[in-house]
Structure 1
Amino acid sequence: MIHKNAEEERLAVEDNYKNWKRWGPYLAERQWGTVREDYSENGHAWDFIGHDKARSNAYRWGEEGIGGFCDSREILCLAPAFWNGKDPILKERLFGLTNNEGNHGEDVKELYFHQVSTPTHSYAKYLYKYPHKKFPYAEIIKKNRERGREESEFELLDTKAFAKNRYFDCFIEYAKEDVGDILMKITVVNRGSKAANIHVLPHLWFRNFWKHNNRFERPEMKSISNSSVQSRSTRNGRYYFYHEGGEQLFCENETNNKRIYDVPNEVDYVKDGINDHVVSGLDTVNPNKKGSKFAVWHKLRLKSGEEKTIRVRLSKKKLADPWTNFDSIFNKRIAECEAFYGDILKKELPQAQQEIARKAFSGLLWTKQFYYYDVHKWLFGGAGEAKPYRADSRNIHWEHLTNRHIISMPDKWEYPWYAAWDLAFHMVSFVEIDPYFAKEQLLLVLRESYMHPNGQIPAYEWNFSDVNPPVHSWAVWNVYEKDKQRSGKGDSKFLEKAFQKLLINFTWWVNQKDKNGINLFEGGFLGLDNIGVFDRNHMPEGITRMQQADATSWMAMFTLNMLRMSLELAKVNPIYEESVAKFFRHFLNIAWAMHHIGQKDISLWDDEDDFYYDVVEMSNGTTDRLKVRSLVGIIPLFAVEIIHKDLFEELKHFKVRAAEIVRTRPDLASLISNIEEFNADGNYLFSIMRGFRLEKLLFRLLDEKEFLSEFGIRSLSKYHEEHPFVFKHNGHHQIQYESGESRSNMFGGNSNWRGPIWMPLNYMIIQSLRKYYLFYGKEYVYEFPTGSGVKLNLNEIANEISKRLIKLFQPNKKGKFQYHSEDKHQLFTKDEQFKNQHFFYEFFDGDSGKGLGASHQTGWTALVANLIMELEQNS
């Protein structure tokens, strides 16, 4: 990378977690209700520690806050709390519904926005909107309990909490003077027409690491003046906390056993002591001004439109005057942040698109989290701890798994735990802003303390054994290529490290998911759960197995990814030619198997419908296609790679062996694209789909009556709206197109693949079309949309689909951002304080484009930033 600005220089420093990334927004937005903190007998994570208990419970595995910062081991945490003088509790953490309380599953019920961050978090900004009125906790729970799955969720904006703009904008900003000097300012603005009171309490506290590890003594904070506090720990030494005005409050980060368990407390001044003192006036803070949890209490009254700023500073250095250069440091870091994004987002992009991309990248950066989970200790207790009683030994087969790292989360409230296939998509966006982090994260989940000894990559904490699509190899290759394009040199060490571990993962897939050794794969839960007519992990009695079009195609893609990596590595080390040959043959075997299933040699490709379908095999030996037109049948599109002839010319041994395979088994080669011929540019096409199948698949994919929506590609064909698919076998099983929230509770929560638009698979479709274009070129054109008579080449089609997806984040003719529902239209269109704030939803309605699911899942929806940048490059 050519270092053009200060932020890129900071990124290039070796071992950033000892340097500029030592502190960052690594605090979870929800620690309560997680599997890690579940010590219930039967594994009822949502009920063991709920929102109400969270303020009184000292967590075992992590911490949470609103717009918080912590160090990379989460020893010391920094975050604000707010109180409007009317709520029954301090606003220390975000509120939302548990899986049982929401009519569409768990859901955060707050208004907050990740404004911006640099990759090293040298500058970061977060916005929280807090009502003047009493926060409607009870109303939100009650209304959502009353609503069924066919009704929409009852949201915070459906209450009167923000009526007449009676709320505060609370801006939380951080800037670093250096590695161990963190400046924080909280600017509160009264948006209402009348004066209002607000209490602002910057908090500093230690994660409770001492209770469960007798190697560590309890750390301490103590007042050393009316405007400064010193923290001291054997784990991170001394820090000095400076503040202007306010009242110092201290307690201990220890559980209030009396409140939660009705047994005596082990210490005085427990975790909720500050809350109880401020809200109820109780004598629950330490008058000696010391403890492991501390806050500065500021009481403000703001006139209409008035704003006030509170400044604090946390430093390893003892400062004579912490305020002299405070504002200048902020100004410098803000300017550097602007310069960084100015270089990333080219001036040719429209300003509105630059802003969307910047918010997407910043959301990714804000959803990095310290994730700590030692499964063996969680199951059996650590040294000196009592063994937990668990009738439900969740993740019992993952005792080796020990996670203690900064990891990219899908989001930090609804999904405050890593998900392997989500993370792979995140890194394809992360590489655009921080290639170091992208490579580090992809290698992290391949480590021996993460990957199972059998080669499986952990899925997510609810069930690490669940099977997600094998997209890790795809992400590794994408990150390698993008990093190479930016820096001018491929990171072969990264590629080789990843390749060696992916070999183990590939073997796991072959051994575990191709149990019959026929190159057809059964994934069960594959991320595309609700897209099926029944739960593929629990098939109706009488079905012996299912040969999945998506599982098999994912593996074909995995095979091509490994082949491509082998080719790249063989340029440096000829021994990798052996791997090239191995994966070439395996790719041919999978292609053959997709068309030879069971006694009748049935194919996953249906010549009558011109589509790929899953095939079930019955106990009597017969087979049947499940004719559901879904993304399952589109995924074969992803098994495509373009390789230039010059690369093959360098690999003489492989070229001979490949020719031998094609000569001796022409039946294998005949099933895929013509790999013996290169195009005018010297490119070979490796693909499951021959040209005629691609054309047939595009006919359905680009049909607005089927997959093509005004806002991208639907996950289920709209054809099934009027023609539900019914499978009658030991029961009545049916699937029907639903554009938005699923009415099926097959998988609980808001799990839904029955129609909506998902950014990650749309991105993969677009990327695949661009690869096909590299081979077929401009002269190969297809109707877009189907039936329109308009012919476009594959690159132009990829651009048009990209534009439809980007349109989700653009105002329409009425000024409404498409992803907003009609009831949010006026506020987010006309209110100056809302109109430039964006949500990044988990998925989008297949007809209207309305945002659905998790509202802050910047994770994979950040791919909209890639689409924006790549559209400009390919137009």
Structure 2
Amino acid sequence: MEIEKKRLAEDEAREKNWRRWGPYLSERQWGTVREDYSANGDSWSAFPHDHARSRAYRWGEDGLQGWSDRQCRLCFAPALWNGQDDILKERLFGLAGPEGNHGEDVKECYYYLDSTPTHSYTKALYKYPQAKFPYIQLRDENKSRSRNEGELELADTGIFNDGRYFDVVQEVAKRSPQDILWRITVTNHGPEASEIHVLPQLWFRNTWKWGNEYEEPRHKPLIQREKDGLIADHDLLGTFRFFAETSAETKGPVPWLFTENETNYPRIFKTKGPSPYVKDAFHRYLIEGLETVVNPSEKGTKAAAHFKLMIPPGESVTICCRLHEEGEDNGLAGLDQFEETFAERLAEANDFYQAIIPDNLSHAEELICRQGYAGLLWTKQFFYYVIKDWLEGDRDGPPPPRERLKGRNSDWQHFFARDILSMPDKWEYPWFAAWDTAFHMIPFAAVDPSFAKHQLLLLLREWYMHPNGQLPAYEWNFSDVNPPVHAWAVWRVYKIADAKGHRDLDFLERCFQKLLVNFTWWVNRKDVEGRHVFGGGFLGLDNIGVFDRSHCLPSGSILHQADGTAWMGSYCLTMLSIALELAPTRPPYEDIASKFLEHFISITDAMNSLGGNGLWDEEDGFYYDNLIVGQDKPIPLKIRSLVGLLPMIAVTVIKQKTIDSLPGFRKRMDWFLANRPELLKYINVRKAVGQKNPGRVLLAIPPEDRFIKTLSRLLDPNEFLSDYGIRSLSKAHGDKPFVFSHDGQSNTVSYVPGESDTAMFGGNSNWRGPIWFPTNFLIIEALERYHYYYGDTLKVEYPTGSGNIANLREVAIDLCDRLISLFVPDENGNRPCFGEAHRYGEVDHWKDLVLFHEYFHGETGEGLGASHQTGWTALVVRLVRERREKLTSENNEWD
């Protein structure tokens, strides 16, 4: 067994607490809902970036690629100063929502390079300019630009020209669960010697100020100087020792700085505070030259060693640190065996991934996988949010404004989160989102199946799920509606995490019981007419519609949503598959399987037949949303988008032998079809032909003729098929925008392949043209299922109009290739995802860096939106692996 797998097993068995420490700090705690105590709910203004260095957080901490224990009690991260900046660099800078021309956006260059699942070894890179950081220029220029202009990024300012920056590489290696080695390597890529101040910081999250009964220590924690390092004492966490030294020559002993993690009340609130030593002391000490702001008695709740380094051009300096629990010293003094431990952990990480990543990949594909997994593991974050306390205020603090009691998340007072969660992006989205989490867990299942199962179960627990059955959508508004993909993720993780014959039926059943409650919520709340057609709201696709589908419908109208109904059809089929999996050892699930089969057929009938053709438009050969205004005839909203493609993902194949092995299910299925013969058209049966072609039953929302028509549009380069995947909106709307007029108002949807040109949902994402990984992944997976049923009996023109004929498996593989190509260098070394940023193809220190953006330009493939949304874009790692398996396997069975 590889050493890392052994660690995972020890942690799972609770023998050793390997996951207690990790890169769990947010990259942005300021500007979040949790820290907003305003009356109007304006999170960005309530706690802006300018407050972050001076104001103690209530619900978490942030740091520069920092670490903490799993409850974020003791944290460590570096602070940097190049001698030019106005602000000590303790956290990443970015624009608040109202400041960017496309919403919030981080304006830094940083990369997650490596991590094992237990974080026994991690590596990250931050590129720190040597010139004054252009905070004002980035803010003012982006704020002045229109939505139709590109964004000004940090590199666009010229600040990295001539290599005038430092590479700050942070590596952490665990010698044992609570003996942690931290190596900071700073390299000067500039043409001249340059000065940098590096402060390895250790601090306690402020848990003593609020009067919090859940975690308040008996005594305020304390960090103080002892001999050659620090000692940090916390009632609940224990006593830790911290050491730091550098490879560079220094004049005299390295100074240690101390202060308190307390708000600078005079600066923030213009009042006197409880301590003269406050959170921004190190900033004021270095940049303002105020020596009295640090505690001369060398104690506090925040401390740092201060290394002032002059680094020659092209050279590096290393700072070595160690944090270990007092009783877990492993018989070693100070920094003994430091480098040896790092070499061992890196070798063990390589061994672990050698077994995970296919060995027949190109170098570029290996980088995609290794850095994709790294980003996925680095974006785990401590998330703490107790709605009742947040609404009512803390025992020792002033009560929040009364408006909050009827405002955001006020009907979620049961919600209590204090967990390590997988985040979409630790800067732009430093909070979980329900449907993001579902997609994250697909690649997670290959490297840390236990964590993947835990995350899916957690959102179904009673302190997350609403008593009415709704899953919390995301922090900004838990009551918004994300697509119901949780069951799908449970099913896929169940299949990926364990080999056949050893799969975790208990996990599957635990999830299924809670999913039943959630499914019922959907049926009761989102099928308003009881006709098996759903109107779930914006469903995570933000601005894809002509108006905000959650709130801005014309007066007195309702919306029959093609995607909402498709999501529910897919939900039914997944629940059917799970029930059939459980039924052989748990017979009552045969009854439940029958319920979901009948419900799916009812949804399919409504989708295709309600009022005539349902949501299908025979003239266009496409599914559309229908707007129902009073008693008038339904108005089809003829936008060719993902809304009309998603019905094809509601598909599954059941083996006839599975049906025959469950006599109760078979009997009820036969009775239902005998008594509802008009519904037989929605079930396709392929009879057994020899052992290689067993009998199969196809269940799908689109009948075969409608599936083929939809497919012809999907695979048309003039509509959805891009060189880099499937667009979210047909390119045809570039020449012919859709215009909807009602009550004297007109709304338009046109093809916008890049950043959003509308302020809908803050303008920080766009579903009107770009390529999104989660929906592409579902479409590819659906094509595999159709091929499993049809085989070579169904071939299509691919691409549409090309004259080339392919089966659906070949189409799926090619779509995989298109998505993977986003991250593969061309003949000039440039990856499409980096657009015109040619430094990634031309400069040695940028060449092997990969970012996993939120979405991608529909024509050029350039990465857009959140730059580190490795979560669902890490699905590319799964595609790389599956593509290799499909190309080398003769077994076409979809499992």
Counterpart amino acid of residue 220 in structure 1: L
Does the 8 Å CA contact 1:678/1:684 hold for their aligned counterparts?
no
Report the CA distance between 1:538 and its aligned residue. 2.8
1:181/1:317 contact within 8 Å kept: no
Offset at 1:596?
Answer: 3.7
One-letter amino acid of the counterpart of residue 284, structure 2: D
**SS of residue matched to 2:99:** coil
Work out whether residues 473 and 480 of structure 2, in 8 Å CA contact, stay in contact via their aligned partners in 1. yes
Match for residue 684 of structure 2?
A: 674
Q: Give 1:50's aligned residue.
A: 48
Aligned twin of 1:223? 225
Partner residue, 1:19: 17
Partner residue of 2:334 out of 309, 312, 322: 322
1:640 aligns with one of 634, 651, 654: 651
C-alpha separation between the residues in 2 aligned to 1:813 and 1:169?
27
What does residue range 63-462 of structure 1 map to in structure 2 within 5 Å?
A: 63-213=61-211, 215-216=216-217, 217-225=219-227, 227-244=228-245, 246-282=254-290, 283-317=292-326, 319=329, 321-392=333-404, 393-462=407-476
Contact 2:322 2:334 in 1 (8 A): yes
Q: Which moved more, 1:679-688 or 1:129-138?
A: 679-688
The amino acid of 1:298's aligned partner reads: F
Moved more, 603-612 or 21-30: 603-612
Query: Which is worse superposed, 80-89 or 27-36?
Result: 80-89
Alpha-carbon distance in 1 for matches of 2:244, 2:738: 64
Deviations 1:469-497 (A, max 9, x none): 00000100000011233x74110110000
Contact kept in structure 2, 1:191 and 1:304, CA below 8 Å: yes
Letter in 1 for 2:63: G
Aligned residues between the structures: 865
| TM-score, structure 1 as length reference | 0.97
Task: Work out whether residues 40 and 390 of structure 1, in 8 Å CA contact, stay in contact via their aligned partners in 2.
Answer: no
Which secondary structure state, in structure 1, belongs to the residue aligned with residue 756 of structure 2?
coil
The residue that corresponds to 1:564 in the other structure is 577
Quote the residue 2:893 is aligned against. Answer: none
Deviation, 1:542, is 4.4
Q: Is 2:704 the counterpart of 1:691?
A: yes
Residue 681 of structure 1 deviates from its aligned partner by 2.8
Asked whether the equivalents of residues 80 and 201 of structure 1 are also in contact (C-alpha less than 8 Å), the reply is: yes
Alignment of 1:531 onto 2:524: no
State which drifts further: 374-383 or 859-868.
Answer: 374-383
User: Is 1:806 matched with 2:808?
Assistant: no
Cα 1:235/1:677, change in 2 over 3 Å: same
Hey, what's the Cα distance between the residues in 1 that align with 2:453 and 2:479? Answer: 24
Name the amino acid aligned to 2:542: D
Matched AA of 2:28: R
- More off after superposition, 374-383 vs 186-195: 374-383
**After the TM superposition, which residues 490-505 of structure 1 pair with which residues of structure 2 at under 5 Å, given as runs?**
490-505=503-518
Q: Does 1:613 align with 2:630?
A: no
**Alignment partners' CA distance in 2, 1:816 and 1:296:** 40
Gaps of 5+ in 1: none
CA deviation map 1:785-834 (0-9, x unaligned): 00111111100000011101111001123321111122x12x11110000
Contact 1:205 1:253 in 2 (8 A): yes
Give TM-score scaled by structure 2 length. 0.95
TM-aligned CA deviation for residue 14 of structure 1: 4.3
**Structure 1: distance between partners of 2:554 and 2:574:** 36
What is the SS of the residue equivalent to 1:594?
A: helix
Q: 2:796 maps to which residue?
A: 782
Q: Which amino acid aligns with 2:634?
A: T
Tell me which amino acid in the other structure corresponds to 1:361.
Y
In 1: Cα distance, 2:88 partner to 2:20 partner: 29
Measure, in 2, the Cα distance between the counterparts of 1:71 and 1:749: 35
Q: Comparing 812-821 with 367-376, which one deviates more in the overlay?
A: 812-821
Contact 1:220 1:291 in 2 (8 A): yes
Match of 1:747 in 2: 761
Q: What is the CA deviation profile of residues 85-117 of structure 1, one whole-angstrom value per residue up to 9, with x for unaligned ones?
A: 111121000000000110000000000000100
Deviation at 1:304, TM superposition (A): 0.4
After the TM superposition, which of the residue ranges 173-182 and 209-218 deviates more from structure 2?
A: 209-218
* Contact kept? 2:756, 2:763, Cα under 8 Å: no
For residues 617 and 471 of structure 1, the distance between their equivalents in structure 2, rounded to whole angstroms, comes to 26
Any unmatched runs of 5+ in structure 2? 246-252, 888-895
CA contact (8 A) 1:39 1:390 kept: no
In the alignment, is the contact (CA less than 8 A) between 1:844 and 1:852 conserved in 2?
Answer: yes
What RMSD in Å do the two structures reach over aligned CA positions?
Answer: 1.4
> What is the percentage of aligned positions where both structures have the same residue?
50
For 2:868, which of 846, 856, 859 is the aligned residue?
A: 856
Match of 1:702 among 709, 712, 715: 715
Task: Say if 1:669 and 1:675, in contact at 8 Å, map to a contact too.
Answer: no
**CA offset at residue 617 of structure 1?**
1.0
Per-residue CA distance 1:232-275 (angstroms, 9 max, x = gap): 11121100111225211100000000100110111121111121
Task: Report which stretch shifted further, 698-707 or 216-225.
Answer: 216-225
Alignment match of 1:629 (pick from 615, 620, 640): 640
1:662 maps to: 673
Secondary structure (helix, strand or coil) at the match of 1:799 reads: helix
Aligned residue for 1:595, secondary structure, equals helix
How far, CA to CA, are the matches of 2:293 and 2:5 in structure 1?
47
Separation (CA, whole Å) in 1 of partners of 2:543 and 2:659: 42
Q: Distance in 2 between matches of 1:134 and 1:82?
A: 12
Tell me the distance in 2 between the aligned counterparts of 1:111 and 1:49. Answer: 23
Q: Is 1:840 aligned with 2:852?
A: yes
Task: Name 2:492's counterpart in structure 1.
Answer: 478
Matches of 1:752 and 1:332 in 2, distance apart?
A: 44
Residues 816, 828 of structure 1: 8 Å contact kept? yes
**Cα 1:678–1:46, aligned 2, differ >3 Å: closer, same or farther?**
farther
Query: Displacement of 1:601 after TM fit?
Result: 3.5
**Distance of 1:73 and 1:390 partners within structure 2:** 30
Task: Give how far 1:544 is off.
Answer: 1.9
* Matched letter for residue 401 of structure 2: Y
Task: Render the CA deviation track for 1:753-785: whole Å, top value 9, x for unaligned.
Answer: 000000110011001100111110123211110
| Distance change in 2, residues 1:139/1:539 (3 Å) | closer
- Post-superposition offset of 1:387: 2.1
Q: Do the aligned residues in 2 keep the contact of 1:24 with 1:70 (CA within 8 Å)? A: yes
